[in-house]
Structure 1
Amino acid sequence: MSRPTKALISKKALCHNYQVAQELAPNSNNLAVVKANAYGHGAVVVASILEALVPAFGVACIEEALELRAGGIQKPVLLLEGIFSSDEVELAANNNFWIMVDNSQQAEWVLNANISKPVKVWLKVDTGMHRLGVQPKFVNEIYLALRASDNVNNDIVLTTHFSSADEHGSGETANQMAIFDKTKASLQDCLDQADNIPCSLANSAGLLAHPKSHLDWNRIGFMLYGNSPLERENEASKRLIPVMTLKSAIISIREISAGQSVGYNQTWTASRTTKIATVAIGYGDGYPRSAKSGTPTLINGQIAPLAGRVSMDMITIDVTDITDVKLGDKVILWGPELPVNEVAKCSFTIGYEALTRMPKRTPSVLVD
């Protein structure tokens, strides 16, 4: 006996989505990004499922990496935001964490560390996102210093991050790739031409929509969980299967008359005699408070729109047009039949935020 609110996590869908990535970029190493608690899906659970399939994982910070190690995960872990203090270099070396170097200070911490084994480094280039990364004119200097250091493995990965790979028709991704190629060519001129520089460009949007960005390493996050990052779906993104099904159940049903209102502040008023069902889920369970009236939910495959404001523990939905509704009926908030992106759009946000806001209060249940 328990509250019916659950986040079902499909092992089959997760492995399927990773296989889609492999098929789209068979000549790349496809790193699985499990930051932000695996986009709300459970970092250790997701990593445990994928560990036999992936070459490495990606997280935002060393705390997330240490959580994976505590959960028994052994594969390398890339720290996507790099390190935040010099003492993290030793932790990284001892735990096989790969360090993203985004600036000269991080590079100095790596170069000056007193460590017994070298670390693997990724060097990020700012090609136009202007968020993190070394300016192209400083790449050669920092790369060569890292390469010459006994603290660093020789196979430094050169990488960047796309700002607009999700936008249909945007030319910015091509611009960034051109800047990256020019930066790499300049660096190659400083090295023996036979020296290979491993590179990484593609995030989820890049992997799905920009085949020329498929290089030695891809970093797949949002698509791994079965959701499209693209502004406009393509055939590749349509192959993805959502991993999470957020569900609950009806706990109350009532009929109200035309002119009566539902929920806090009377923001929704019935225009006809209406059957209202109350569902045991709210913003305390990760369902967005900003969801507007009319946001779809599913009961027996039929749409039941949200009616009134989202409460901390409950929502109310209009089930007037759904036959045979009864207490205990399952309600799907998002999942394979109702994409989280659709719910997010009705909530004035994006699917990324909706998923990563899943709280501990909502239990995850592994299925398949």
Structure 2
Amino acid sequence: MVPTQAEVLAAPKVVLHDHLDGGLRPETVIELAAEAGHELPADSAEALRDWFVAAADSDSLERYLETFEHTVAVMQTREALSRVAAECAEDLAADGVVYAEVRYAPEQHLEGGLTLDDVVDAVETGFRLGERRAADDGRPIRVATLLTAMRHAARSSEIAELVVRYRDAGVVGFDIAGAEAGFPPTRHLDAFEYLRRENAHFTIHAGEAFGLPSIWEALQWCGADRLGHGVRIVDDIQVAESGEVTLGKLAAYVRDKRIPLELCPSSNIQTGAASSIAEHPFGLLAKLRFRITVNTDNRLMSATSMSRELSLLSEAFGYDLDDYQWFAVNALKSAFIPFDERLVLINDVVKPGYAALRAQRTLADLRPGPVSPRSA
């Protein structure tokens, strides 16, 4: 039974791939832009929201990334960063997210004179504020942070050191992002080797706009714990007309090793990695029991939320509450927080949350319906 909208919203969700600078409220962008003197392509919240989505619907990762020029431009002060982070936590919690790993690139927020440490401090302050506000509203959430280095730049070692420096203050991992073509992850091998020596976690954007070589390098050269997107692993899977499935060596390795895929369906369509939700490799990868997770990527640019992503997947593939629970547990198994903390979220939050939804369904089925006039 496909969940109702109320059930989708109430379902406990876990997101591992959500960009801070891709999830601002349009109203906030407008207010911060006015304070910063930054010119925007639209002057009303509705028109700006529409512009971001239209600009991101380009079938090109490079064009998609251009939209961030406006959000990053208004995130150059402590106050702005803290506000955006707090609102991010509140918005995710309002959507039923109970655990989130939100990523951003500190090196992109230095135009106003902040240091890398200033940026991290401001964002962590905002997340803690947002968590408190969400808890006060009866929607508890835990937000952890991934620090991203831009793959076309040369600051990845600095950002990796920042991850280790703040690992006990909310930062749980490292990432590289940006245009894949021409900027292979091996350019940042020093950063990944440092992180491994420091027993730190990292994910790598790979297998989104670029194919199998990007995934192979991320795993076999760099040692990524997870794949950011990783949707192009489907290029190493053959499905015969008979329905027989053959996995190539890399796809088999990814499945056998239970390497998590941070799949972002709506975003993948915008960047041309998939043509529609119904034709998205998510369905095949789920059927083959890869370690799949559902993610938003950039909520503003895709006009999406975790609830919307789940609803779209249900419409395409018929997923039910049991599937939602599987996705959430997959994500928590793959999270970068300590094992015991993951277990608490799985056993005390996610599983009881879905059990309650199923119990509500059972009660609704047992309730007597209205008495028909003919049977009265």
What TM-score results when the alignment is normalised by the length of structure 2?
0.38
Relative contact order: is structure 1 or structure 2 higher (C-alpha 8 Å, sep ≥ 6)? 2
Query: Which structure's residues are more often helix, by fraction?
Result: 2
Computing the radius of gyration from Cα coordinates, the structure with the larger value is 1
State the TM-score, normalized to the length of structure 1.
0.38
Q: Which has the higher strand share?
A: 1
